[in-house]
Structure 1
Amino acid sequence: MSLLKVASVACIALTLGACQSLFQPSYRAPLEATRDASEVVQPGCTTADCPLVNIDTVHFASEPKLDALIEQRLLEMTRTTPGAPLPASLNAYREKFLRESGPRNSMYLQAKVREQHDGLVIIELSSYLDTGGAHGEPGRGFINYSRQQQKNLTLADMLRPGKEDAFWKAAQVAHNSWLISTRLSLEPDYVKSWPFQKTPNVALTYGAVVLKYPTTTIAPYAMGHVELQIPYARLDGIIKPELVPVRH
């Protein structure tokens, strides 16, 4: 019997989903990631406040598109002015930073796997630029990489058509819950000074849709990057159903 006939007989005996699994890759098994961490000090500097660059990232040998996307996003986080040209690579950025920076200047860049589920790889990105002032400039971001689509999912990719306003209303409910849980809702001046805002940082984690805010957007710098969570149940009819995690 030919291999084609064997496969056909097997498919008849199995459910459609099991049959399809014979020919399509399984996304339940997580991708293997390799950590790549280094800290380089300005060559020739011997003082305690030498400029340095710390890069802690991950590589995916089996997903070159994700690998390239991570480097691209980290390079975007090095910008100090909007629209500034990007370095050719992280190595090029490090060399330029160390060549041009003075004492007490440092840059930290990190990309880590926050979680993997349902064919999605959630990468959390962090940056911290210290130019010797009272405090540095931190940054955060997410990549929601779809292994099936081979791309990063934007908010538009996540939502049903015409549901963006409904999504941000659900986010505002999550913000109100956060104000109540932190008892900040009891401080009228705080609510007036730090009203709800949208954020570009949205992650499709297994437990909830996560929103992470840049510092000084909805809270003072000292409170860091506020994180809000929207349960998937509150996004019924708003988020695309195929992106709601399957409970195994």
Structure 2
Amino acid sequence: MSLVKIASVACIALTLGACQSLFQPSYKTPLEVTRDKSEQLKPGCSGADCPLVNLDTVHFPAEPQLDAIIEKRLLQMARTSPDAPLPASLGAYREQFLRSAADHHGIYLQSKVREQHDGLVIIELASYLDNGTTNGTPGRGFINYSRQQHKALGLGDILLPGQEDMFWKAARVAHNNWLISTHLDREAEFVKAWPFQKTPNVALTSRSVTLKYDVAAIAPAPLGHVELQIPYERLRGIFKPELLPDGN
């Protein structure tokens, strides 16, 4: 092959490589997100006592799989019993709720972007069921969505094999640190009454892993949704290396 032909082939290869890179997703660029917010009262009802459904959620035009995951999680949080069937959509749930709800009842469902980093989209979910009493039922949750894998990551996707016990030991240390920082460690009765617990709400936030607790899970209700932080440096050998942010 002549030098001219070799040079031509090399140029074509370089051009194709450049074109391919242009069409690969840049995970450092956040996904475009839109917001959909609405509040609807029971048809034909007016006044402060009317049943209502308040929806405030996010959508990702380029990632419909994430939209579907968010909708399903919000529907699960809206259930009043774990085995209740899920409606087909948030719209169907709203119609069903408003059709049967009594006065003073309402439901608030929210999703928002907590962070986007390293190819992950961290969604925080919130719910509040107003059942007409003084105190309603609040809920919280997280979705750790991998843009590379197009799925939500659970602990089984995050931890190295056999490391779940070590992860929760690190969480216990974070709990102790929280007690110290709030000076609650000095209250023997508090420590006894509100021991450490595991939580399903684990978020891969950029600076540390965030654990979030339901109200009255590890502290009295007035303290709200307690958050614990586990630095990533303590999770080396526990987390899969590719899920540790750069520099950890």
1:161 matches 2:161? yes
> Secondary structure at the residue paired with 1:67?
helix
Cα–Cα, structure 1 residues 196 and 99, in superposed 2: closer, same or farther, change >3 Å? same
Cα–Cα, structure 1 residues 42 and 183, in superposed 2: closer, same or farther, change >3 Å? same
Counterpart residue identity of residue 43, structure 1: P
Using the alignment, how far apart are the partners of 2:8 and 2:77 within structure 1?
51
Deviation at 1:9, TM superposition (A): 3.9
Provide structure 2 residue ranges, at least 5 long, that are not aligned to the other structure.
none
Cα–Cα, structure 1 residues 23 and 38, in superposed 2: closer, same or farther, change >3 Å? closer
**Larger deviation: 152-161 or 18-27?**
18-27
Cα–Cα, structure 1 residues 188 and 64, in superposed 2: closer, same or farther, change >3 Å? same
Counterpart residue identity of residue 30, structure 1: P
Q: Stretches of 4+ moved more than 6 A in 1?
A: 1-4
Using the alignment, how far apart are the partners of 2:244 and 2:24 within structure 1?
20
Deviation at 1:47, TM superposition (A): 2.1
Deviations 1:70-92 (A, max 9, x none): 10100101111111111111011
Match of 2:68 in 1: 68
Provide structure 1 residue ranges, at least 5 long, that are not aligned to the other structure.
13-17
CA RMSD in angstroms comes to 2.1
TM-score by length of 2: 0.92
Deviations 1:128-160 (A, max 9, x none): 000011211001100000000010000111111
TM-score by length of 1: 0.92
Using the alignment, how far apart are the partners of 2:68 and 2:129 within structure 1?
22
Match of 2:107 in 1: 107
Using the alignment, how far apart are the partners of 2:88 and 2:175 within structure 1?
39
Using the alignment, how far apart are the partners of 1:87 and 1:3 within structure 2?
59
Match of 1:146 in 2: 146
Match of 1:232 in 2: 232
Cα–Cα, structure 1 residues 45 and 205, in superposed 2: closer, same or farther, change >3 Å? same
Cα–Cα, structure 1 residues 24 and 104, in superposed 2: closer, same or farther, change >3 Å? same
Deviation at 1:4, TM superposition (A): 7.1
Using the alignment, how far apart are the partners of 2:90 and 2:49 within structure 1?
22
Using the alignment, how far apart are the partners of 1:90 and 1:3 within structure 2?
56
Counterpart residue identity of residue 13, structure 2: S
Deviation at 1:5, TM superposition (A): 4.1
Deviations 1:33-59 (A, max 9, x none): 010000001111122211110000011
> Secondary structure at the residue paired with 1:114?
strand
> Secondary structure at the residue paired with 2:78?
coil
Work out which of the residue numbers 8, 19, 24 in structure 1 matches 2:13: 8
> Secondary structure at the residue paired with 2:203?
strand
* Residues 20-39 of structure 1 mapped to structure 2, 5 A cutoff: 21=21, 24-39=24-39
Deviation at 1:117, TM superposition (A): 0.4
Aligned length: 242
Using the alignment, how far apart are the partners of 2:195 and 2:64 within structure 1?
40
> Secondary structure at the residue paired with 1:77?
helix
Match of 2:42 in 1: 42
Using the alignment, how far apart are the partners of 1:71 and 1:229 within structure 2?
27
Counterpart residue identity of residue 153, structure 1: L
Using the alignment, how far apart are the partners of 1:148 and 1:48 within structure 2?
46
Using the alignment, how far apart are the partners of 1:105 and 1:7 within structure 2?
66
Match of 1:204 in 2: 204
Match of 2:177 in 1: 177
Cα–Cα, structure 1 residues 246 and 19, in superposed 2: closer, same or farther, change >3 Å? farther
